[in-house]
Amino acid sequence: MGQVPARRTGLPRRDELDAHWRFGVAATGLDLSGKQVLLADGAKVGFDRLLIATGVRARPWPNEAEAALDGLFALHTPEDAEGLRQRLAAGPGRVLVIGAGFTGCEDASACRELDLQVTVLDRGPAPLAGALGAVIGGVAAQMQRDNGVDLRCGVRVESLEGDGSGRLRRASLSDGSTLDVEVAVAALGSIRNVEWLEGSGLAAGAWGVACDTGCRAVDVNGLVTDDVFVAGDVARCPHPVYDYQYLALEHWGNAVAQAGIAAHNMISTQSERWPHLALPEFWSTQFGTEIKSVGVPTHADHVVVAQGSVAERRFVAVYGYRGRITAAVAFDQAKWLDFYAGLIDRAAPFPPSFRTVDQSTDGRPVAAEVPERPTPQATVVVTGHGPSERRATLVRRTYL
């Protein structure tokens, strides 16, 4: 949007740390038995405790030749943001956003605020359906269309084409149509930075690095390590509220909270360690509307509008799974989410039966229409016969 330079978006109130920084040197391997991190320049760094916080990177456009077209962007780093900002400021005739997750939806909102024509494509049934389910995603879809977005669901890009100078000019779509575009944003999600842990013995793969609620990494045998910890987007840990399912949460609020837990546990004795049990939260501002969530909306079978009005886009949607409340999503009603967070913590019954301020007139639960997405699974072989010999080994596979 240009409201602040992209390179001035660092975390606020960062204190100076008495640390030895090694910028520009990648970690290439981990020697668990030797307690050393291997670096790209051939050096090794020993450790008593190790924190893995390697995060994620933007998923690139899958066709390398098309990915090189001038005008196609991913959006993850300040450099990405600055490049995209310059192109939007030049006033392109149409912007194409490929993917309607949070990044894609916020991109579309920014384009409309800059009075740019924008088309959003998503192969799913509605924007944000993978995070909120198709029912509430349908509300987001109508919000986009009301604000002038050309939203096309169930449609994907077959190919991108450039001119003789390598500049993006056209997109061919799966419905047989074509779009003339000068700028496109590939909002395809992310890839966890775990390749450097290949062969390390940790349970690390496309899903992230497995750990317990104390942020201690899990090895390929399912044993918890005591000197390697994980935090942030790359971490995948079980949450008791959600049937101990392993969750990977890509939000800076979670990264900050989990880092505090990991740091405490790295320097504490076993009896003094804390679990990371914070409920997941996120927020997003789109088309002048604040969308905020607490809990895990995809861990649900039903959803009900408990307060407010969908038509006015000021409401609270409450999600439930097998008779208990698991999440709440608010459109311009975030003030109520602390209350619903308490209900989630207490495993309160769903649907909520109490009266509320601004009671919804349509309080009937409906199917949440959460998409079924298979979790990337580890491919493991087990060798050995006796209990002292049996060991698990991850079989190398391409990262998705």
Q: What's the whole-number mean pLDDT along residues 98-125?
A: 97
DSSP state of 51: E
For residues 331-345, one letter each, b for 16 or more C-beta atoms within 10 angstroms of the residue's C-beta and e for the rest, the string is bbbbebbeebbebbe
Res. 398: pLDDT tops 70: no
The model's pLDDT over 303-322, given as tens digits with 9 standing for 90+, comes to 999 999 999 999 999 999 99
Res. 45: pLDDT tops 80: yes
pLDDT band at 397 (very low <50, low <70, confident <90, very high): low
DSSP state of 70: B
| In contact, 275 and 261? CB cutoff 8 Å | yes
The model's pLDDT over 155-178, given as tens digits with 9 standing for 90+, comes to 999 999 999 999 999 999 999 999
Provide, rounded to the nearest whole percent, the portion of the chain with pLDDT above 70: 96
Residue 385 pLDDT: 87
| In contact, 244 and 236? CB cutoff 8 Å | no
Burial class (CB in 10 A: 0-12, 13-18, 19+), 315: buried
State the chain's mean pLDDT as an integer: 93
Residue 376 pLDDT: 65
Token readout for 35 is 């307690």
Provide, rounded to the nearest whole percent, the portion of the chain with pLDDT above 90: 83
* DSSP codes, 234-283: TEEEEEGGGTTEEE----HHHHHHHHHHHHHHHTS-GGG-----PPPEEE
Q: What's the whole-number mean pLDDT along residues 12-29?
A: 87
User: Long-range contact list for 358-361, CB < 8 A, 24+ apart?
Assistant: 358/307, 358/308, 359/306, 359/307, 360/304, 360/305, 360/306, 360/307, 360/308, 360/309, 360/315, 361/309
Res. 400: pLDDT tops 60: no
The model's pLDDT over 269-289, given as tens digits with 9 standing for 90+, comes to 989 999 999 999 999 999 999
The model's pLDDT over 337-384, given as tens digits with 9 standing for 90+, comes to 999 999 999 999 999 988 877 887 777 899 999 988 666 667 788 888
